[in-house]
Amino acid sequence: MNEAERSEYQTDFERDGFVIARGLFSEQECAAYIKHYMDLRHAGSYPGDSIGVDLGDETDPLRQYPRMIHMHRWDEMSLRWLIDPRLGQVMTACLGREPFAVQTMLYFKPAGSRGQGLHQDQFYLKADPGTCIAAWMALDRCDEENGCLRLVPGLGELPLLCTEQADTQESFTDVAVPLPAGVEAKPAVLNPGDVLFFHGAVIHGSLPNRSTDRFRRSLIGHYVAGEAERVGGFYKPALRFDGTTVEQLEDSPGGGPCGVWVDRDGRVEVEVARD
C-alpha cells in the first residue's frame, strides 16, 4: 500500500466511518472460500451455529444454512484469513495503529432468508478505549436484490444507541436501532473480493435476500483498536497479526448509558441518558 492509498483510506474512514477496498482478494480466492465453507456447512454443525430468532418455520432457509462463528478457533483457513496482512494494512491506515483480531463469522444468506436489523457492532464487542472495526468481505456479488449490507454514512462517532424491537419476519435478530426522519441506510454493492471496513459505531444492517436462487455469502472479521484494554469476554482471546495471543485485555463490563435521537431546533442529535 502506498502513501496515497493510505491517506485516502484514512480520510474516507474519518469522514464516513467506512471504506471499501475493491478487489482486495481475488475471485479465485473467493471461490476457494466458498467451496471450503460450503463443504464445512454440509459436513455438520459447529459451536455457535445460529439461525437467530426461531420463528418455528420449518421452511426457514437459515435452518439449512445457519451462521457460523469463531471459525478461526478451529479452522486454519479461517485463521489465516483473519490475520491476513492485506486486511491489517487497510485497518492500520484507517485507525492509525494495527488492531487486534477477535472474531470470524460466515453468513450464507441463501435465497429467501432474513436480513439483520440496523445495529452497531460496538454494542456487542464493547472495546474500550477506542472502538471495534469490521472487515466484511463479499464472497458472492452482494446487491440490493440478495440483501447487501446497508450503512448510514457520515454521522460521526456516535455513542451507542438505545435499541428497540426488530421485525423478526425481516430480521434474524430481535433488536435494532431506530433512525430519525430523513436519515436512511445506503446499500453497499460489492463484488467478490471487495472488503468493506467500518467503525464500530456505524449503523448498519441488511434486508432479506429477495432473490430466487442466489446466495449472499460473506466472510467477516471483527477487530478492536490497538489501544483497547477491555473487550467483551465472548471475544477473547484476541490475536495480533503475527498470530500471537494478546494477554493484557480484560473483560468489559456490561450495560451502561445509551443514546436517543432528539430534535434540537431542527437539527437531529443524539442525547445520552446518564445516571
pLDDT for 58 equals 93
Residue-wise pLDDT for 3-46, tens only, equals 888 899 999 999 999 999 999 999 999 999 999 999 999 999 99
Q: How many domains does the chain have?
A: 1
pLDDT for 240 equals 98
Q: Please enumerate in sequence order all residues whose Cβ is within 8 A of that of 163, keeping only pairs 6 or more positions apart, or say none.
A: 119, 123, 175, 176, 177, 258
Residue-wise pLDDT for 146-192, tens only, equals 999 999 987 657 888 999 999 999 999 999 999 988 889 999 999 99
Closest CA to 189 of 129, 251, 146: 146
Cell triple for 158: 456516535
Higher pLDDT, 199 or 159: 199
What is the rounded distance in angstroms from the CA atom of residue 198 to the CA atom of residue 119? 12
State percent of the chain over pLDDT 70.
97
Residue 268 binned pLDDT confidence (cut-offs 50, 70, 90) = confident
Residue 255 binned pLDDT confidence (cut-offs 50, 70, 90) = low
Burial of residue 124 (CB within 10 Å: 0-12, 13-18, 19+) is middle
What is the rounded distance in angstroms from the CA atom of residue 230 to the CA atom of residue 59? 41
pLDDT for 117 equals 96
Does this model's pTM top 0.85? My answer is: yes
pLDDT for 14 equals 92
The domain spanning residue 250 has which CATH number? 2.60.120.620
Residue-wise pLDDT for 111-145, tens only, equals 999 999 999 999 999 999 999 999 999 999 999 99
Residue 213 has pLDDT above 60, yes or no: yes
pLDDT for 218 equals 98
Residue 259 binned pLDDT confidence (cut-offs 50, 70, 90) = confident
Cell triple for 190: 460489492
DSSP 3-state of 34: helix
Higher pLDDT, 2 or 246: 246
User: What angle is formed at CA 114 by the lines to CA 132 and CA 87, rounded to 5 degrees?
Assistant: 30
pLDDT for 152 equals 93
Region label for 169, one of left (φ > 0), alpha (ψ between -120 and 50) or beta (otherwise)? alpha
Residue 274 binned pLDDT confidence (cut-offs 50, 70, 90) = low
pLDDT for 222 equals 98
pLDDT for 265 equals 72
Domain extent, residue 183, equals 3-272
Pairing of strands 68-69, 116-119: unpaired
Residue 78 has pLDDT above 90, yes or no: yes
